[in-house]
Amino acid sequence: MKSLHQPTEQNISQLNGINYLELIIRIVTGIFLILDGIHIISHTAQLEELFRQVMSYSISEFLITVIGFVHLFGGTFIILGLITRIVIILQIPAILAEMYYIQPPNSFLGTWEIIGSAFLLMLLIFLFVKNSGNFSMDYYRKKKRLSKTVQK
C-alpha cells in the first residue's frame, strides 16, 4: 500500500512543470489586491469625498464599494488561479480609476500609493499575458476537462 506522502513519478513530473516565479508573482499580486481592497473598504468616507467632486453621492458610494469587493474577491481568485484572465480584466479598470482619481495631493500614502498602483497594474498585465500557470485551478479544470474528452 502506498503512503499518501510518498512521491510518485506523476507527482514529481507535475511539480517539475511548475514555474515558481510565476506562482510567486500570482500570489503576491493576489495579496496586494486583497490588501488594496481592505484599504479601500476601510477608507470609504475619505474616498467618497474625493469621488463626490466629480460624481454624485450615490454613484461614488456604489463605485467605492464595488471596487473594494472586486479587489477582495479578485485577489482571492488570482491566488487560487481561478478564471484568472476574466478577473484581471475586471481589475484593470479599477486600478486605472485609482491611479486617475487618487493623485498624490489626495492620496493617503503620498506618492507611494500611485507607485504601488502602477506596480500592481504591471503585475496584472504580466499575469494576463502569462495566464495562471500549471499550479492553478484553471490548469486543473482544463486538465480534468481534457481527460473527460479523451475517455469518451
pLDDT digits (tens, 9 = 90+) for 92-141: 988 887 777 666 555 555 567 778 888 889 989 988 888 777 777 777 87
Q: Give 58-106 as a DSSP string.
A: HHHHHHHHHHHHHHHHHHHHHHHTSSHHHHHHHHHHHHHHHHHH--TTT
The torsion angle over the Cα atoms of residues 108, 67, 93 and 115, rounded to 10 degrees, is: 20
| pLDDT score at 1 | 45
Tell me the whole-structure pTM to 2 decimals: 0.74
- Does the structure show a pLDDT above 90 at 147? no
| pLDDT score at 17 | 65
Rounded CA gap, 48 and 51, in Å?
5
Provide the grid cell at 90.
475586471
| pLDDT score at 74 | 92
